[in-house]
Amino acid sequence: VSELESYFRGLAPGSDPLLAGLQQEAAVQGIPIVGPLVGRLLQMLVQATQARAVLELGAAIGYSTICLGRGLGPAGRLLTLERDPVLAQRAGDNLARAGLAGSCQVRQGQAAEVLPGLEGPYDLAFLDIDKAGYLPALGHCGRLLRPGGLLVVDNTSFSGSQDFNQALREDPAWLEAQLLCFLPGHSPERDGLALAVRA
Ligand SMILES: C[S@@+](CC[C@H](N)C(=O)[O-])C[C@H]1O[C@@H](n2cnc3c(N)ncnc32)[C@H](O)[C@@H]1O
């Protein structure tokens, strides 16, 4: 770890006891979560865009859901999809512990089955499911997000994300940017993150 990386790691946001506990739980149980840096970014993006309707694909234990939920204003609502029933239950319990049960709802199910029945408009969507599900979900995100809505995509540096990255880049419906600082060797997260605005 370089001196520069250690310096920037030292600047990473701290976590309150609830998020710190979930980070610990996720680490012990091998559950991939976005972590404090991307978590803070998600909260900021919801806040900065003043999003009132947020859609998340892939809740796991609800860590990123809590971060997104914390960015919502009083009238804000969030729906998150999670296919695993046990994880969906845990995400719901953790949202309740975070005081977000009133604004954030967990729907258990496969994205491919739930997405066609959803109606927008959403202001912001966060995509964090299996990479095979990214490309099929892209069309739905385009349909569900309002013009000017923001799509946030995790794990775009994974090899399984290449087709998705290309589609996002080539589709005139999206104005996208791959955040190079999240590429391997450039950040503590190393997973890749893309932002795209719905035209
Ligand atoms: C990377 S984890 C999500 C982590 C979470 N966003 C966080 O950062 O705290 C991906 C989750 O998506 C769920 N998942 C994967 N593919 C899915 C799909 N097609 N539909 C719904 N959920 C899916 C998995 O069960 C897993 O819990």
Q: Cα angle at 174 between 171 and 176, to 5 degrees? A: 105
**What are the pLDDT digits (tens) for 136-147?**
999 999 999 999
**What are the pLDDT digits (tens) for 173-191?**
999 999 988 877 777 677 8
Q: What is the mean pLDDT of the chain?
A: 95
> Which ligand 1 atom is nearest residue 87's CA?
27
In testing the pocket of ligand 1, which one of 128, 140, 164 has its CB within 8 Å of the most ligand atoms?
128
In testing the pocket of ligand 1, which one of 126, 130, 161 has its CB within 8 Å of the most ligand atoms?
130
| Ligand 1 first shell, C-beta below 6 A | 32-34, 58-60, 63-64, 81-84, 87, 110-111, 128-130, 133
Which residue's C-alpha comes closest to atom 17 of ligand 1?
A: 129
Residues near 72 by Cβ (< 8 Å), separated by ≥ 6? 46, 51, 52, 54, 78, 103, 104
- Taking residue 101's Cβ as centre, other Cβ atoms within 10 Å add up to 15
User: What type of residue is 171?
Assistant: D
**What are the pLDDT digits (tens) for 14-69?**
899 999 999 999 999 999 999 999 999 999 999 999 999 999 999 999 999 999 99
Report residue 2 as tokens: 């370089």
Report residue 59 as tokens: 């809740």
Nearest CA to 54 among 36, 25, 85, 75?
A: 75
Distance from C-alpha of 35 to C-alpha of 64, rounded to nearest angstrom: 8
**What are the pLDDT digits (tens) for 67-123?**
999 999 999 999 999 999 999 999 999 999 999 999 999 999 999 999 999 999 999
The radius of gyration of the chain from alpha carbons, rounded to an integer in Å, stands at 16
